[in-house]
Structure 1
Amino acid sequence: MKSDGTTLRQFGANPTGMAIFDARGRYIITVMRSDRAKYASNALWRGSAEENEATANGTQTYFGTYSVNDQDRSVAIHVEGSSFPNWNGSDQKRFVAITGDQLTLTIRPPSGESVDVVWKRAK
């Protein structure tokens, strides 16, 4: 959700994904559209240009290290690798809110808005 209250559906109405933060300070986040079409070739490395574009536009994965700042309720992440190569080697900050089984990570990009990414605990 953006700061103006609109909902951004970058990964469709029913995205699927996982965010794992381990006790040793490592994380991986991956999210994708659940409605992506299968490749016609049924071969991992033989997608058409359109199929590859749909995969690139419908998937975000990144991993690295993190540390928690209790004072401002944030997590600092260092991106070691990302499906968006511009993030490789970058340091980013997410603000954290936990309510029951829900984790909200708020991203404040340079554009000045804020974006909430909501995760629900796996059961």
Structure 2
Amino acid sequence: MTLKNKVLGVGAVIAFSVFSTAFAGAENSLVGTWRVVSATVEREGNRSNAYGPNPHGWLVFTPELTFVEVLTDPRVPAFRSNVRGEGTDEENRAAMAGSIGFFGRYTVNQNGEFTGNTVEGSTFPNWVGAVRTQDDLQLKVDGDRMVENFRRPDGTKVHIVFERVR
């Protein structure tokens, strides 16, 4: 083992120890599976349902600090073709406008509260690589309820309410 590898190994142990200590006594409040209850957007004072009046979707946070979020509007009609890549322009537009799916990594503070995330993959390619901090994305957990507030770059406000799945 080279000196460089020994130093890197010691650094990893120190980083792990600091990370583990930061969570001693503080439970990560996000861990679990959450079901969407409501989702609205507000643009220029106009408020509307983001994924229809009865949105479907889940948000999953793992203890390993990874997440996946999928939101859909159940009113989006099925494609005429059963082949995913063969939708018409109209079908593709409806599917894109009525759904979003993305995944990545997230961070929490010493109290186990959300502090930010990084999107590693998304059905909306422009989000890949996006780093969100509490300046534009807030997640607040209160028991079995979580509220997500997100401000898009164009100023549109997104408000989503989730409930913990048992």
Where does the alignment leave 5 or more consecutive residues of structure 1 unmatched? none
Aligned partner of 2:128 among 63, 85, 88: 88
Q: Choose from 64, 75, 82 the match for 2:115.
A: 75
User: Which of structures 1 and 2 has the bigger CA Rg?
Assistant: 2
Are the structure 2 counterparts of residues 89 and 70 from structure 1 closer, same or farther at C-alpha, using a change threshold of 3 Å?
same
Question: CA RMSD for the aligned pairs?
Answer: 2.5
Write the deviation string for residues 77-115 of structure 1: whole angstroms up to 9, x where unpaired. 001111111111110132222223211112134455643
The aligned counterpart of 2:57 is: 17
The answer on whether the counterparts of 2:106 and 2:114 sit within 8 Å (CA) in structure 1 is no
For 1:45, what is the secondary structure of its paired residue?
helix
CA contact (8 A) 2:119 2:131 kept: yes
Question: 2:55 touches 2:71 (CA, 8 Å); kept in 1?
Answer: yes
Which is worse superposed, 3-12 or 60-69?
Answer: 3-12
Is 1:62 aligned with 2:102?
yes
Partner of 1:40: 80
Instruction: Give me the identity figure in percent.
Output: 30
Counting matched residue pairs gives: 122
In 2, distance between residues paired with 1:60 and 1:115? Answer: 13
Check the 8 A contact 1:63/1:79 in 2, yes or no: yes
Does residue 97 (structure 1) correspond to residue 146 (structure 2)? The answer is no
Deviates more, 1:104-113 or 1:26-35: 104-113
TM-score by length of 2: 0.64
* Alpha-carbon distance in structure 1 between the residues aligned to 2:72 and 2:57: 6
State the AA in 2 paired with 1:26: T
The one-letter code of the counterpart of 1:100 is: G
Query: What is the distance in 1 between the residues matched to 2:149 and 2:125?
Result: 21
Contact 1:3/1:115 (CA < 8 Å) preserved in 2?
A: no
Give unmatched runs, 5+ long, in structure 2.
Answer: 1-39
Q: Given that residues 66 and 104 in structure 2 are in contact (C-alpha distance below 8 angstroms), is that contact kept between their aligned partners in structure 1?
A: yes
Q: Which structure has the highest helix share of the two?
A: 2
